[in-house]
Chains A and B, each alone.
Chain A
Amino acid sequence: MAVADSHDTHDDHHDLHDHGEFIAHHFDSAEQQFDSGKLGIWLFLVTEVLFFSGLFVAYSLYRTNNPVVFEQAHVFLNKYLGGLNTIVLLFSSLTMALGVRSAQLGRNKNCSIYILITMVCATMFLGVKAVEYSHKWDMGILVRSAFDLTYTHPVPTTEIGKSLHISDYLVYLCVIPALLIAGFVVASVISKLINKNMLAKFMMAMAITVGGYFLGVGIGVIFMNATEGETGSSHASAIAEQPLRLLASTQDDHSADDHNKAAGDSKHDGEHAHNEEHFGAHAANGGEASFDAHHPDPSKLDRDIGIFFSIYYCMTGLHAIHIIAGIIALGWLYWRSLLGHWRTDYFGPVDYVGLYWHLVDLIWIYLFPLLYLID
């Protein structure tokens, strides 16, 4: 089947090769090429599953052996933001599937639109993630060795941060996207001017994609404020008076000097109180003898609570890297859609990238309950 057959089928091959310039020379037919690619991508997905499995093993082990750590840690994750991200990613899966369908029917324009929407959803996901990460970094919630929980948030020092009341870290996380979006817009304008319309369209689409990131950041900030609420000022000051810190247990306690300073200006809107509405009764403030689930007394948290966050950052971080890789692949597909490459007998790449994208979604479908919905 793989070797050129004898003469009687030669004519068929001719026809196929005339407008079958997408069939590689070592394949005999479009079907063989498609089947090979399909099996190839499924095997690649197998390697991705095994790749993530290491982290799932680590998760299972630590959750089994340290259930207290996991119970205590989950309050620091916002399940509504997580749910929002889930819905965004599911929607991107839908648009990806619709994109594959369009490619199969040879509808290149529709395909390009669906792919663009998928990319925008992907960057929105990253934007929301950026909000979550920067919020945690403000609170000193880092990996195990650097875990240093504090409820008093640093005052923003950047201009933007001050005016919009967002954390410095979030500003830093927006620098590269801002540069990218500017770059793409400029590239698009220049391309238009030198009459490369296709390129201009592509650059504009990339700019829109990066725009999705800022959309995600905006929605994330709004959601976070809405679900965590403004705390009453008494609440804020009560926390401010008790600059308690949890250090990695291997070190001596630092002096509380720097925290007394920070305590004075802990006037952050909605960034530090934790989700009270959904747990019913509103415990007064931290620092009491009983364990307050909503903003736990740092000194009462398990010594190893940072491990949950090590696993959290590793899993969501690796997942985010895969999302970025997916965006790049989707960008490549978008370009090819603009060039009109897809036809009813050649749509493999869209199908394959689609499968990869669905796997990324699949992994999130499991990450979400495992990390965010621990009760």
Chain B
Amino acid sequence: MSEHHDDLPGFCHPVSTKLLFGVFFGLIGLTILTVATSALGSALGMPPAFAFPLAMVIATMKAFLVCAFFMHMYWDKSFNVLAFLSSLLFVTLFIGMTMMDTGENQHTIEAFDINNLANVEVSE
């Protein structure tokens, strides 16, 4: 499936079917892994604190495979890659700063009871 690629224009770069199927099976494997660790994790003695980071790591590995090979990022112009990755940077910024702040109001929100407004406490 990777024949006659010399007569193709420079910007035309088909990916080999072998690679695409390989990536697909890798993705399936990772999916099964993540469901299995979630369902059987406690039974296998995995500490509960591990579950979320592990799921995120596996998801990121899957994301990398999709981005690099299905989305062709591996061979792409670095500017496009930079644009996409920088968006993730800004998302991180957004989440980070907002999370640093909202713990602040939680107390007040939990104490908020619309039937009993006189008793609203404002945390200092």
Kindly identify, within residues 45 to 91 of chain A, every residue whose CB is under 8 Å from any CB belonging to chain B. 45-46, 49-50, 53, 56-57, 60-61, 64-65, 79-80, 83, 86-87, 90-91
Interface pair B17/A56, CB less than 8 Å apart:
no
A244 / chain B contacts, CB cutoff of 8 Å: none
Distance of A262 from chain B, by nearest CB (Å) = 28
Distance of A341 from chain B, by nearest CB (Å) = 15
**Of the 9-residue stretches A94-102, A137-145, A322-330, which lies at the interface with chain B?**
A94-102
Instruction: For A98, give the chain B residue with the smallest CB separation.
Output: B20
**Of the 9-residue stretches A34-42, A148-156, A209-217, which lies at the interface with chain B?**
A34-42
Partner of A369, one of B9, B15, B48, B58: B58
**Does chain A have a CB within 8 A of B123?**
no
Complex: A351 Cα to B75 Cα, angstroms: 14
**Does chain A have a CB within 8 A of B80?**
yes
Residue among A42, A96, A345, A366 with the most chain B CB within 10 A?
A42
Interface pair B20/A375, CB less than 8 Å apart:
no
Interface pair B35/A50, CB less than 8 Å apart:
no
Interface pair B24/A355, CB less than 8 Å apart:
no
Interface pair A46/B12, CB less than 8 Å apart:
no
**Can you list, as one digit per residue, whether each of B8-43 has a CB less than 8 Å from chain A (1) or not (0)?**
111111110100110110011001101100111111
Given contacts A38-B80, A344-B8, 12 further A-B contacts (CB under 8 A): A30-B11, A34-B11, A49-B88, A50-B87, A79-B38, A90-B31, A98-B20, A100-B14, A344-B12, A358-B70, A369-B58, A375-B42
Complex: A105 Cα to B55 Cα, angstroms: 38
Instruction: For B102, give the chain A residue with the smallest CB separation.
Output: A61
Interface pair A362/B24, CB less than 8 Å apart:
no
B70 / chain A contacts, CB cutoff of 8 Å: 93-94, 96-97, 354, 358, 361
Distance of A363 from chain B, by nearest CB (Å) = 10
Report the interface size class on chain A.
35 or more
**Does chain B have a CB within 8 A of A265?**
no
Interface pair B99/A64, CB less than 8 Å apart:
yes
Q: Tell me the count of chain B residues lying within 8 A, CB to CB, of chain A.
A: 62
**Does chain B have a CB within 8 A of A43?**
yes
Given A90-B31, A101-B20, A375-B51, does the pair A366, B59 have CB atoms closer than 8 Å? yes
Distance of A87 from chain B, by nearest CB (Å) = 6
Complex: A365 Cα to B71 Cα, angstroms: 14
Interface pair A345/B41, CB less than 8 Å apart:
no
Distance of B96 from chain A, by nearest CB (Å) = 9
Complex: A375 Cα to B38 Cα, angstroms: 7
Complex: A275 Cα to B89 Cα, angstroms: 38
Complex: A261 Cα to B4 Cα, angstroms: 72
Distance of B94 from chain A, by nearest CB (Å) = 6
Complex: A285 Cα to B63 Cα, angstroms: 41
Distance of B53 from chain A, by nearest CB (Å) = 11
B15 / chain A contacts, CB cutoff of 8 Å: 97, 101
A104 / chain B contacts, CB cutoff of 8 Å: 8, 12-14
Complex: A93 Cα to B31 Cα, angstroms: 14
Interface pair B34/A250, CB less than 8 Å apart:
no
B122 / chain A contacts, CB cutoff of 8 Å: none
Kindly identify, within residues 64 to 107 of chain B, every residue whose CB is under 8 Å from any CB belonging to chain A. 66-67, 69-72, 76-77, 79-80, 83-84, 86-88, 90-91, 94-95, 98-99, 102-103, 106
Instruction: For B24, give the chain A residue with the smallest CB separation.
Output: A94
B10 / chain A contacts, CB cutoff of 8 Å: 31
B41 / chain A contacts, CB cutoff of 8 Å: 375
